Structure 1
Amino acid sequence: MSDFLSYKNKRVLITGCFSGMGEATARLLLQQGAEVHGLDYKECKLPLASFTSVDLRDPASIDAAVARIGGKVDALFNCAGLPQTFPAMDVMKVNFAGTRHLTEKVLPLMSAGGAIVSISSNGGLGWSRRIPVLMGALQVQGFEAFMKWCEENAETVREGYAFSKELVIVWTMLLSQKLIKQGIRINCTMPGPTQTPMMSHFESATKASVLEAAAQPINRRSTPEEQAGPLVFLNSDAASYVNGVCFYADGGFMAGLATGQIDPRSLMGG
């Protein structure tokens, strides 16, 4: 399996390695022989090649973290995120503005054959209905300018979670067209409900019936390890022709919506 995924002698960066999907992904990468450098707000206990504390809400913190790691980077895993129970602007900073800034700082360390994957969410499934707004937001370059746009468009941003995840999806598609000309791929995953420490926040902010509906048709939540597999695959050489993809890791939920076998009204909480 390690030869198939080709992580031996590869140097990778991963955010959000303290817990949940990020920790599970870091653990799997270590098992596959990668040299893993972790970034998070809280310290990771795994035997990483290095750990650097970073606050994705602060571009200076991001710059310092990337400078500290330096060297060649073969793969970047954007796994850090905040749920909708945090202040909306903090959610936007961590889930998108900081993630984009970090990616832009890491890109000069990557060369042909490099790969990037980010965690979006099925919470961003409305992206296709808001393309003009999302494209407009993505035209705003720079961390501070983007956050100013968010503050001026608070009614669009709302709680921050859904909008930030929609942005990750469309940003992935847009950037994939440019980066592939440098031989670098970028993809994202759209997990369904996953039993991580963050789940308690979703449970406090979302009706149980909605979470149950989002777990159809498999009718259970995924484990962090079940989300780590697709992330590690997408950044591996085995996925060398996969680019600009939003990979559904949701037990068949989106397929059920698309074919009318899951009623979208079940997500309204009514």
Structure 2
Amino acid sequence: MSSQQRRIVVVGAGSGIGAAAATHFHERGDHVLAVDLRPGDTPAARREICDLRDPAAIAGLLGRIGGDWDALAFVAGVPGTAPADDVLAVNYLGMRLFATGMLPLLRQGGAIVTVASVAALGWQQRIDDLTGLLAATDVAAVRNWQQTQDPAYPVYSTSKQAAIIFAKRLAPSAWQKYGVRVNTVSPGPTDTPILTDFEASMGKDVLDAVKATIGRHATVADIVPVIDFLTGSGSRWINGQDVHVDGGFVAPMTVGPAVEL
């Protein structure tokens, strides 16, 4: 057990990266609140059920968990095979409401880490396009915005782009008012139970090409240590950043061909 127990909320703790993160913190001796849509058996000091599509459910949960938390790891997410409204409600709006609602409950020096995705690649060029979504603070406004969008554009990418932009916009204020850092982690394809959903929505050939380029898909063991680092004191001067954890796949896509050795 760690000599200094921390109190950490892990949202999306039922499976995949979220379950691995909750288990990691719990086994280290931290007090973990595991939050998920369904009852589960992820190791934790406490478990709560919350439908992240429902702002009232988020507010109710935040109202009963008390304060003095050290970190929020928002790992919950639904793939692009889900209805567009659900993708945006969970991946973007649910994250936004949970993160802002947790700020007063976090200790000074605390951290918020959201799991985004390399599928958000190109978010810098979509800031203006996402203005309406980033201004939306309720389910109806998010739904109305989505109805005006090109249905051919991957809504999963949109949700993660918005999550990254919002986190970057939240980070300065969260630090100045609460002493809390806000960062995102963007994994590449990761071997979790929803990988087949990503193959269906993004194309198995695309994910196979990623795998062939870097040798394998990520495992949860590749992602969790980065989440851990960003919640801890070793990252105390990292704020407002999006950290790619993708084996280096994206790098040559943004700067040109890899150097041949």
Correspondence 1:1-270 to 2 at 5 A: 8-140=4-136, 142-155=137-150, 158-181=153-176, 182-215=178-211, 217-261=213-257
For residues 176 and 134 of structure 1, the distance between their equivalents in structure 2, rounded to whole angstroms, comes to: 18
Q: CA deviation at 1:242?
A: 0.6
Q: 1:216 to 1:108 in 2, by over 3 A?
A: farther
Task: Spell out structure 1 runs of 4+ moving beyond 4 A.
Answer: 156-159
Deviation at 1:71? 2.6
Contact 2:117–2:160 (CA under 8 A) maintained in structure 1: yes
SS in 2 for 1:172: helix
| Secondary structure of residue in 2 paired with 1:44 | coil
Residue 265 of structure 1 is matched in structure 2 by none
Mark the runs of 5 or more structure 2 residues left unpaired by the alignment: none
Could you tell me how far 1:136 is from its partner in structure 2?
Answer: 4.0
Task: State how far apart, in whole Å, the 2-side matches of 1:157 and 1:57 are.
Answer: 23
Displacement of 1:260 in angstroms is 1.8
Shift, 1:133, TM fit: 1.8
Contact 2:133-2:142 at 8 Å conserved across structures: no
Aligned-pair distance for 1:144? 3.1
- SS of equivalent to 1:174: helix
Aligned-partner Cα distance in 2 for 1:18–1:128: 32
Deviates more, 1:8-17 or 1:40-49: 40-49
TM-score (norm 1): 0.89
- Determine the C-alpha separation between the residues in 1 that align with 2:238 and 2:152: 30
Residues 1:157 and 1:210: Cα distance change in structure 2 (over 3 Å): closer
Decide whether the 8 Å contact of 1:120 with 1:169 is kept in 2.
yes
Residues 210, 233 of structure 1: CA spacing in aligned structure 2 closer, same or farther, 3 A cutoff?
Answer: same
Q: Secondary structure at the match of 1:133?
A: coil
* Distance in 2 separating the partners of 1:2 and 1:212: 40
How far has the Cα of 1:63 moved from its partner? 1.4
Write the letter of the residue equivalent to 1:257: M
Q: Secondary structure at the match of 2:130?
A: helix
Give the secondary-structure state (helix, strand or coil) at the position aligned to 1:177.
helix
Structure 1's unaligned 5+ residue stretches are 263-270
Residues 224/209 of structure 1: CA separation in 2 closer, same or farther (3 Å cut): same
Distance 1:70 1:15 in 2: 16
Deviation of 1:159 after TM superposition, in Å, equals 4.2
Describe the superposition over 1:50-99 as per-residue Cα deviations: whole angstroms up to 9, x where unpaired.
Answer: 10100000111111222222232110000000001010001100101111
* Structure 2 SS opposite 1:132: coil
Amino acid at match of 1:48: A
Q: CA deviation at 1:213?
A: 2.9
Query: In 2, distance between residues paired with 1:111 and 1:51?
Result: 21
**Quick one: distance in 2 between partners of 1:80 and 1:60?**
17
CA distance in 1, matches of 2:233, 2:152: 36
Deviates more, 1:31-40 or 1:201-210: 201-210
Shift in Å at residue 25 of structure 1?
A: 0.6
Which moves more between the two structures, 240-249 or 67-76?
Answer: 67-76
C-alpha change, 1:194 and 1:183, in structure 2 (3 Å) is same
How far off its partner does 1:156 sit? 6.8
Deviation of the 1:186 alpha carbon: 0.4
Report % sequence identity. Answer: 35
The answer on whether the counterparts of 1:88 and 1:158 sit within 8 Å (CA) in structure 2 is: no
